Amino acid sequence: MSLTVGFDLDMTLLDTRPGIQATYDALSAATGVPIDSALAVTRLGPPLVQEIGHWFPADAVAEMADLYRTLYREHALAGTLLLPGVVESLAAVRAHGGRIAVITGKYEPNARLQLDHVGLTPDILVGDTWAESKGDALRLHDATVYVGDHLGDIIGARAADAVAVGVATGPYSAAELHAAGADVVLRDLTEFPAWLAGHLS
């Protein structure tokens, strides 16, 4: 069977917090609504509308989410940082003849812009997914491993019967990722190439 490895985006491959914080600050400035952007970036993972709903009334959430996505293109890309081990991990998948699938909750066109900005080119990109819907995307593309930092990523991997690899680079500790059902937890992606080689052997 061919190998396809799925990766989450925010806080798994990329530290997007500086740009996301800048985008929330821009949204606050554009609307006059106070937003604690430092708090917002501690809660990355769930759908954007969930976070927007903390700051705006329900009947404004869809409009504000659209405005956020527009502001994102101007404010979020410059602060993006590659997390440790990303380049080596993607190279390891390809060295084993595998495909790389980025399965993310981020709005897909913005996810593409962000990946292009840092020079990462996955074989597959699926945006606007969360928890069980990540599982749907993983199944669709025959991914057998999914790597993520959030409890929702573990749910997605489990839904697809994929190996759930947690990385403790996001809001959850290794112990919390294990407790949520991760099959393996890595400190960060610097440990992924060696784990993948052992897994495939």
Specify whether the backbone of 32 is left (phi greater than 0), alpha (psi in -120 to 50) or beta.
left
For tokens 């074989």, the residue is 123
What pLDDT does 1 receive? 60
CB-neighbour burial class of residue 73 (10 A; exposed 0-12, middle 13-18, buried 19+): middle
d(CA 172, CA 178): 10
What pLDDT does 174 receive? 97
What pLDDT does 57 receive? 98
Give the amino acid at 174: A
Q: Report CA-CA distances (Å) from 180 to 153, 156, 175.
A: 10, 12, 9
What pLDDT does 184 receive? 98
User: DSSP letters along 99-114, please?
Assistant: EEEEE-SS-HHHHHHH
Annotated active-site residue in 8, 15, 149, 153: 8
Active site residue 123: no
Q: Centre a 10 Å sphere on the Cβ of residue 188 and count the other Cβ atoms it contains.
A: 16
The sign one gets for the Cα dihedral 11, 136, 95, 147 is positive
CA proximity to 146, closest of 160, 136, 129: 160
Specify whether the backbone of 45 is left (phi greater than 0), alpha (psi in -120 to 50) or beta.
left
Helix then strand count (H, E) for the chain reads: 10, 8
pTM of the predicted model as reported, rounded to 2 decimal places:
0.96
pLDDT in tens, the chain (201 residues): 689 999 999 999 999 999 999 999 999 999 999 999 999 999 999 999 999 999 999 999 999 999 999 999 999 999 899 999 999 999 999 999 999 999 999 999 999 999 999 999 999 999 999 999 999 999 999 999 999 999 999 999 999 999 999 999 999 999 999 999 999 999 999 999 999 999 999
Query: What's the first-to-final CA gap in the chain, in angstroms?
Result: 14
What pLDDT does 189 receive? 98
